[in-house]
């Protein structure tokens, strides 16, 4: 069971994202029809900087529902099942995750940095992963020998640990992504999901800076930590 590294790629995002968000915002405050405005946005009659400035000002007011019209789709590999369980708790999103029932040729794993930097901890962790891989293979063989055949792997997988690597395709709209980054870029978030969220945020900032320029942990927008003093990391003062 070899160790796997994190990789995050942006597969797709809504075309003409900034213009779409601008049109949606303007429809809320404009007597005209967004469809009549649309050609002007696409041909540059209303330039992108004007669109970005308007969107930014409205977002600062707290009106953010129109950014739900734009979504981003990511492919992620090199995360543990422990991490994926945290991700799928975010409800307004779509997920397609690699199945342990059907993908059985290799079982990679994720090693926490705190374990990796201590030689004796790393050695014990790797030894256990080897044991798990051996047990998984043995159980599959035993189950096949007793007639379980192609279904053997769905039972043998019960011995696989939370460290087992998985791959996910996930889609979120911009509003959900901001909420995701508020929580998962925070220093209180678990190291693995925070590292993944940071990479996703970098991609979003490159693709749509007008929307994600201020993305990240909630304290970055507030200028203070919304947690109680007991849970604050110390980067910003608490509300108290």
Question: Among all chains, which residue has been given the structure tokens 């374990």?
Answer: 115
Instruction: Report d(CA 179, CA 157) in Å as an integer.
Output: 33
Closest to 170 in 3D by CA, of 153, 145, 193, 151: 193
Q: What is the pLDDT, as a whole number, of residue 149? A: 86
What does pTM read for this prediction? 0.93
CB burial string 43-59: b at 16+ within 10 A, e below: eeebeeeebbebbeebb
Choosing from 26, 184, 194, 218, which is the catalytic residue?
Answer: 184
Q: What is the mean pLDDT of residues 87-103?
A: 93
1-110+163-240 CATH pick, 3.30.1360.170, 3.30.70.360, 3.30.930.10, 3.30.420.40: 3.30.1360.170
For the chain, percent of residues with pLDDT exceeding 70: 99
Q: What is the pLDDT, as a whole number, of residue 9? A: 98
Q: What is the pLDDT, as a whole number, of residue 231? A: 85
Q: What is the pLDDT, as a whole number, of residue 105? A: 67
Q: What is the pLDDT, as a whole number, of residue 17? A: 97
Question: Is 184 a catalytic site residue?
Answer: yes
Which pLDDT band, with edges at 50, 70 and 90, does 4 fall under?
Answer: confident
- Please give the residue that has the higher pLDDT: either 18 or 103: 18
Q: Could you read off the pLDDT of 125-137 as tens digits, one per residue? A: 999 999 999 999 9
The domains of the chain are located at 1-110+163-240
Which pLDDT band, with edges at 50, 70 and 90, does 101 fall under?
Answer: confident
Which pLDDT band, with edges at 50, 70 and 90, does 150 fall under?
Answer: confident
SS3 124: helix
Q: H-type helices in the chain, by residue range?
A: 17-29, 34-42, 48-60, 81-87, 113-116, 119-145, 152-156, 174-184, 191-207, 209-212, 218-222
Using CA atoms, how far residue 38 sits from 24, 32, 46, 47, in Å, is 10, 11, 10, 12
**Over 60: is that where the pLDDT of 88 sits?**
yes
Which pLDDT band, with edges at 50, 70 and 90, does 234 fall under?
Answer: confident
Q: What is the pLDDT, as a whole number, of residue 98? A: 94
Q: What is the mean pLDDT of residues 64-88?
A: 97
Q: What is the pLDDT, as a whole number, of residue 235? A: 87
CA contacts within 13 A on the Cβ side of 217: 19
**Over 60: is that where the pLDDT of 1 sits?**
no
Which pLDDT band, with edges at 50, 70 and 90, does 3 fall under?
Answer: confident
Q: What is the mean pLDDT of residues 220-236?
A: 88
Q: What is the pLDDT, as a whole number, of residue 198? A: 98
């Amino acid at each position: 069971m070899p160790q796997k590294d994190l990789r995050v790629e942006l597969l797709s995002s809504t075309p003409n994202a900034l213009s779409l968000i601008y049109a949606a915002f303007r429809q809320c405050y404009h007597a005209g029809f967004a469809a009549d405005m649309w050609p002007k946005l696409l041909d540059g009659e209303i330039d992108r900087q004007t669109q970005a400035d308007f969107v930014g000002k409205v977002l600062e007011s707290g009106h953010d529902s129109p950014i739900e019209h734009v979504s981003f789709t990511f492919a992620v590999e090199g995360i543990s099942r422990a991490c994926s369980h945290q991700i799928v708790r975010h409800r307004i999103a779509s997920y397609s995750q690699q199945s342990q029932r059907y993908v059985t040729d290799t079982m990679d794993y994720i090693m926490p940095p705190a374990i990796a930097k201590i030689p004796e901890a790393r050695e014990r962790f790797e030894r256990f992963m080897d044991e798990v891989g051996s047990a998984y293979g043995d159980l599959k063989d035993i189950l096949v020998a007793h007639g379980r055949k192609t279904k053997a792997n769905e039972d043998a997988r019960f011995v696989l640990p939370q460290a087992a690597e998985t791959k996910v395709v996930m889609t979120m709209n911009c509003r959900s992504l901001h909420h995701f980054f508020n929580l998962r870029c925070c220093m209180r978030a678990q190291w693995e999901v925070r590292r993944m969220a940071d990479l996703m945020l970098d991609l979003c900032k490159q693709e749509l800076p007008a929307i994600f320029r201020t993305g990240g942990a909630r304290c970055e927008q507030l200028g203070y930590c919304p947690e109680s003093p007991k849970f604050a990391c110390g980067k910003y003062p608490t509300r108290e």
